[in-house]
Structure 1
């Protein structure tokens, strides 16, 4: 099951890229706005970075959301970043107390994420070895996977996530964005152990 919420937007035509955010929640019937949703609203209002926000509470909901994005959304090519706020650890995610490896996720979305950057908040630690990262990228076609080595219990990554998305709205080159992120937010990048697999 999934819930879709469009955020306050400037004109979609005014922005080159959008963020597609998928947040794992305990129950999608809950209508209370999450902290993630509030931050995405601020991002749209303050920096003109538009987003589509959805929640899911099952692997089927996650699959349905991403398939709807890939097949039904005419703006799909403009979603440069797919932002996952999902619990889990290292190379898996957890939905409704079930764990799914990123390898399983890659196989579900084989060839469907071409050119996208998948960014994980630090609701889960992202800790892949080279083989796992290359497998995921090769199977899905994604351009890169980014995330953090330090989990949410230490400090939430929302502020650094917003900075990352804002820089991407201004600059197309992924490596320039990461370099600038480290220059402007060095301590936070270090503290959260920002990672990029490409």
Structure 2
């Protein structure tokens, strides 16, 4: 095995992606996997991808990330590709509230940005977003007010958000730049960031 030594000032960018699928045991390459592979090649953003089909699978994937992956501190973005409504996610025909998700992540997301794709609407009140941030320790939670199964945010605006985030760590600047560079998509999908 060949090892490539990177300059010490070069920092790798990492995303941890959890996607809900119908059957996690079947080997499949989803559109999200293909996009993540393309991001690694074109945007120098590496990722770990896990598919889950149950809440237990989601918990196991999260436990693996927290306790077995020694690079966890390098993952600044946790990318959740989970269907659902405004304050719930849907896995295997069961709805889980944003509060249940917060409790699942309790104290484990210090400094992370939790980003939901537009497979679910993210529509939190100030109280709900503050609860989520306080319980999880996350730096921010982001997503979209417009849900679409036909127009995936992963193809366009998620990629832009991830790149901008790794170019500039200031979330306010990232959101401003998102709206400057991708105004139509931000408005169409109703991009939101709570911090």
TM over 0.5: yes
Q: Structure 1: any 5+ residue segments left out of the alignment?
A: 1-9
Give the aligned partner of residue 66 of structure 1: 62
Deviation at 1:59, TM superposition (A): 0.6
Q: 2:12–2:46: 8 Å Cα contact kept in structure 1? A: no
Give the aligned partner of residue 30 of structure 2: 34
Report the aligned-residue RMSD: 1.5
Deviation at 1:154, TM superposition (A): 5.7
Give the aligned partner of residue 157 of structure 2: 160
Structure 1 position 182 matched with structure 2 position 179: yes
Give the aligned partner of residue 101 of structure 1: 97
Deviations, residues 152-193 of structure 1 (Å, cap 9, x unaligned):
246221110011111122111121111111111011000000
Deviation at 1:27, TM superposition (A): 0.4
Give the aligned partner of residue 195 of structure 1: 192
Q: 2:86–2:122: 8 Å Cα contact kept in structure 1? A: yes
Whole-angstrom CA distance in 1 between matches of 2:70 and 2:144: 31
The DSSP-based 3-state class of the residue aligned with 1:71 is helix
Equivalences for 1:1-198 in 2 at 5 Å? 14-153=10-149, 155-158=151-154, 159-198=156-195
Whole-angstrom CA distance in 2 between matches of 1:17 and 1:74: 15
Deviations, residues 65-121 of structure 1 (Å, cap 9, x unaligned):
111111121111111100000011111101000111010111122111111100000
Q: So what's the TM-score if we normalise by structure 2?
A: 0.92
The DSSP-based 3-state class of the residue aligned with 1:30 is coil
Aligned structure 1 segments of 4 or more residues deviating by more than 4 angstroms: none
Whole-angstrom CA distance in 2 between matches of 1:89 and 1:29: 26
Q: Structure 2: any 5+ residue segments left out of the alignment?
A: none
Deviation at 1:148, TM superposition (A): 0.3
Matched pairs, number: 188
Whole-angstrom CA distance in 1 between matches of 2:98 and 2:14: 23
Give the aligned partner of residue 6 of structure 1: none
Deviation at 1:123, TM superposition (A): 0.6
Higher Rg: 2
Deviation at 1:32, TM superposition (A): 1.9
Whole-angstrom CA distance in 1 between matches of 2:71 and 2:166: 16
